[in-house]
Amino acid sequence: MAAPATAPAKCPAFKLSEAVKEPLVFHARVTGAGRPTKKGGPVEYPVTVVKALKGVTAGSSLKVALNPGACQKKSLTTNEDYYFFVQPKGSSIIAAGTQPRVAEYTDRLQAEIAKEFPEEITPEPQQVSFTEPDSPEGQKLVKVAAPGVVLLVLGILGLAVVQVLGRRKVV
């Protein structure tokens, strides 16, 4: 009689409410390829913190280790952004949870993170560009106003000269 086949273990769903309890929570960009710390052990990735939510400083360069395992993210992509929910362990930072910061996740995940860290989340600034106005009205105003300003300055100087000369006593 053959032994019954066992089904692979079902991985638990990512729960933000649990993940935010980790001591370090941040949005970071992977800056290089992962390097295994030892054969079959965690793979460390260099990251730069883009948005610090808890326990780290924005702009920090860190190394985050991903543990191998059936339910763990297998690898991170260089120059991609991720949300990290991690804990320090010795000199390493172990990723308890990692979520890609891609369009299909970002809005939902950003909304959930905003609930957990309302003081840290601000909307990303919109791109703004400045251009020269198409209308020449601004140049016309300068041409019209310049002579008036010159006359005003000359009038004030004239009044000052008359006032100074008027105070002198003639002997």
Question: 20-55 pLDDT, tens per residue?
Answer: 778 888 888 999 988 888 777 788 889 998 888 888
Q: For the residues 148-152, what does the mean pLDDT come to?
A: 90
Local confidence band at 154 (pLDDT 50, 70, 90 cut-offs): very high
List, in order, residues 6 or more apart from 68 with CB less than 8 Å away: 40, 41, 42, 43
pLDDT for 156 beyond 90: yes
Local confidence band at 125 (pLDDT 50, 70, 90 cut-offs): low
pLDDT at residue 7, rounded to an integer: 46
pLDDT for 150 beyond 80: yes
Give the tokens for residue 61.
């360069």
Q: How far apart are CA 47 and CA 79, in angstroms?
A: 9
Local confidence band at 152 (pLDDT 50, 70, 90 cut-offs): very high
3-state secondary structure 27-75: EEEECCCCEECCCCCCEEEEEEEEEEEECCCCCCEEEEEECCCCCCCCC
Nearest C-alpha neighbor of 19 from the set 98, 121, 114, 88: 98
Q: How far apart are CA 63 and CA 86, in angstroms?
A: 11
Q: Does domain 16-116 have CATH number 2.40.50.120?
A: yes
Q: How far apart are CA 105 and CA 124, in angstroms?
A: 16
DSSP 74-107: ----TT-EEEEEEEEETTEEEEEEEEE--HHHHH
Instruction: Give residue-wise pLDDT tens across range 63-117.
Output: 888 876 666 667 788 888 888 888 777 655 666 555 555 555 566 666 777 777 7
Q: Which residue has the tokens 């995940």?
A: 109
* pLDDT: which is higher, 169 or 79: 79
- Please list the residues that pair with 61 across neighbouring strands: 48
* pLDDT: which is higher, 87 or 122: 87
Nearest C-alpha neighbor of 54 from the set 99, 107, 121: 121
Q: What global pTM score does this model have?
A: 0.55
Give the phi and the psi of residue 107 in degrees, each rounded to 5: -60, -45
Per domain, the residue ranges of the chain are: 16-116
Q: Which residue has the tokens 């006359």?
A: 151
Local confidence band at 138 (pLDDT 50, 70, 90 cut-offs): low
- Helix (H) / strand (E) element for 27: namely strand 24-30
